[in-house]
């Protein structure tokens, strides 16, 4: 019997990606947190960590790998250079490659940031009967650049990027309540309702991901998005930056339950 | 009428300290957070911020002043080099001065960390009828080095330092519940009861601050302490480090209420 994504442990999922599988990670190893990955030269690491400290909603830090370090308790027995299904390599702010591993691009001075991903709170939303529209439609979540600026830190500044999930009006309070219990994966919404207040001109034209409809009687709800730090880093054009490819996250050993606050 | 510490606004308190007043800050500008201060050369700043990220209970970051920056919204109109009542200056890990201002020691490459102080949650404890023994006795809180090690970060490692407040047994649950709502100022206790489990040999001989008795029927309760990062920094012997003098904190403009989580 072929193992299904749902049946794999985090370590088994990482092994599959390490040995050549290239696939979006939605649905893999449910119950364990997935992470945004961003590796930067050490000389930008303080600015990035300070940016995260000042903007905790878009940049919840789950862990940091120091120079030379390529594994940690979040990916026990794994290797950050091989265990993500697909990577993006940027040089001077330009995307130059989208490889399956980054062994050939790695440098010992890279510091790797692992940031929470809202995939984690979609499971408890669905368990509580709150629909997650993009999953029901089988597409990627829509993401938008907003006019809201993040707090700058050192050389880093940029716009807040948000993800949008339409929610039935009578369940908006539930969606707020449930996601607020997961601050480590973006937490409560940053905005409920009118997209124009964020200067999002057209919900049907997301800047990243796929459009989804907002049915009658549903409200667009916006959460801070893990693309935010990448947008800030790209504005600063570092000589080298390595990230996961959107939707192709690191599957960690961190149980979702450990990210829940009372 | 001479103004009392309780009647001063944070800005008025800072002005008094700036213009020569040297006094412990307990009781000044109640309702506003006070902060531990630690300024380090830029080349240690990433290690310090990462140490704080990995040890959030002893090192809750309220704010960071970048190189050249000497004020921020936390001390509006103020100056971090003059507005603390008393400073400590360390060179190569040795205490070399305890001046009223540090204008003569400052360097443009210093990064200043402002870390939460448990003074903030003592007010809601007392409002809920939970006694704060050291305040009732009019002494400093007792603090102890423990055998528990912090998670290291770069060049920084050190022991967890804790503060101890004895609490009547029937109010321990209240003390946990109330302080857990203030993660930005050390949050819930790290240990309840037997000091030997932390390898604290004698409660009557604190490593910092003053001893307090534990009355019959009361339990010693231990919270992570803001002295922890200073202990780690001192172990690494940086060429220069500037901190507040114990008990002589920065009085900030941050309302206590903003540090409270649901």
Q: What is the pLDDT of residues A43-63, one digit of tens each?
A: 999 999 999 999 999 999 999
Fold of A5-117+236-259: PSTPO5379-like (3.40.1640)
CB contact under 8 A, A66 and B42: no
- List A38's β-bridge partners, or say none: A113, A243
Return the pLDDT at B160: 96
Would an 8 Å CB–CB cutoff place B46 in contact with chain A?
A: yes
Of A19 and A24, the one with more pLDDT: A19
pLDDT of residue B67: 96
Q: What is the mean pLDDT of residues B234-258?
A: 91
Residue pair B240/B21 in contact (Cβ under 8 Å)? The answer is: no
φ, ψ at B185 (rounded to 5°): -130, 40
Distance in Å, alpha carbon of B112 to nearest chain A alpha carbon = 12
Please tell me the number of Cα atoms within 13 Å of B187 on its side-chain side. Answer: 15
Contact: B61, A53; criterion CB under 8 Å = yes
Residue B137 near residue B76, CB atoms below 8 Å:
no
State the Cα–Cα distance between residues B37 and B71, nearest whole angstrom.
13
On whether any CB of chain B is under 8 Å from the CB of A261, the answer is yes
Q: What is the pLDDT of residue A23?
A: 86
Q: Which CATH architecture has domain A119-228?
A: 2-Layer Sandwich (3.30)
Distance between alpha carbon B7 and the CA centroid of its chain, in Å? 22
How buried is residue A203: exposed, middle or buried, by Cβ count under 10 Å (0-12/13-18/19+)?
Answer: middle
- B53 vs A54, A61, A261: nearest CB: A61
pLDDT, position A262: 67
Contacts of A30 (CB under 8 A, 6+ apart): A6, A123
| pLDDT given for residue B96 in this prediction | 95
ipTM of the complex: 0.81
State residue A66's pLDDT score: 96
Backbone angles phi, psi at B171, to 5 degrees: -110, 5
Whether B5-116+237-257 and B119-228 share one fold: the answer is: no
Q: Are A74 and A253 in contact (CB under 8 A)?
A: yes
CB B189 within 8 A of CB B172: no
* pLDDT mean across residues, chain B: 93
Q: Does A53 contact chain B (CB < 8 Å)?
A: yes
With CB atoms and an 8 Å threshold, state whether A42 touches B46: yes
For the stretch B191-208, pLDDT in tens is 999 999 999 999 999 998
Largest Cα–Cα distance in chain A?
Answer: 53
At the topology level, CATH places domain B5-116+237-257 in PSTPO5379-like (3.40.1640)
Comparing A152-156, B2-6, B180-184, the range with the smallest average pLDDT is B2-6
The total of other beta-carbon atoms located within 10 Å of residue A217's CB is: 9
What is chain B's alpha carbon radius of gyration, rounded to the nearest angstrom? 18
pLDDT tens for each residue of B145-164: 999 999 999 999 999 999 99
For chain A, the domains span 5-117+236-259, 119-228
Q: Does A11 touch chain B (CB under 8 A)?
A: no
């Amino acid at each position: 019997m072929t193992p299904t994504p749902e049946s794999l442990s985090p370590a088994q999922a990482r092994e599959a990606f390490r040995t050549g599988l290239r696939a979006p990670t939605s649905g893999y190893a449910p119950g364990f947190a997935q992470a945004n990955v961003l590796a930067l030269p050490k000389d930008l690491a303080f600015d990035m960590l300070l940016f995260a400290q000042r903007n905790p909603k878009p940049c919840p830090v789950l862990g940091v790998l120091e120079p030379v370090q390529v594994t940690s308790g979040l990916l026990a027995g794994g290797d950050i250079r091989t265990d993500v299904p697909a990577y993006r390599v940027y040089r001077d702010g330009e995307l130059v490659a989208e490889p399956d591993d980054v062994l050939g691009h790695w440098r010992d001075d890279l510091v790797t940031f692992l940031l929470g991903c809202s995939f984690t709170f979609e499971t408890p939303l669905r368990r509580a009967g709150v629909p997650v529209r993009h999953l029901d439609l089988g597409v990627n979540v829509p993401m938008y650049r907003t006019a809201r600026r993040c707090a700058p830190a050192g050389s880093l500044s940029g716009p807040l990027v948000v993800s949008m999930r339409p929610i039935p009006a009578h369940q908006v309070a539930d969606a707020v309540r449930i996601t607020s219990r997961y601050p480590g994966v973006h937490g409560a919404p940053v905005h409920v309702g009118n997209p124009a207040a964020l200067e999002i001109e057209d919900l049907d034209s997301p800047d990243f991901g796929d459009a989804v409809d907002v049915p009658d009687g549903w409200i667009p709800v916006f959460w801070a998005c893990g693309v935010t730090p990448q947008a800030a880093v790209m504005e600063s054009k570092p000589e080298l930056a390595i990230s996961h490819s959107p939707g192709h996250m690191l599957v960690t050993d961190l149980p979702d339950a450990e990210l829940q606050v009372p």
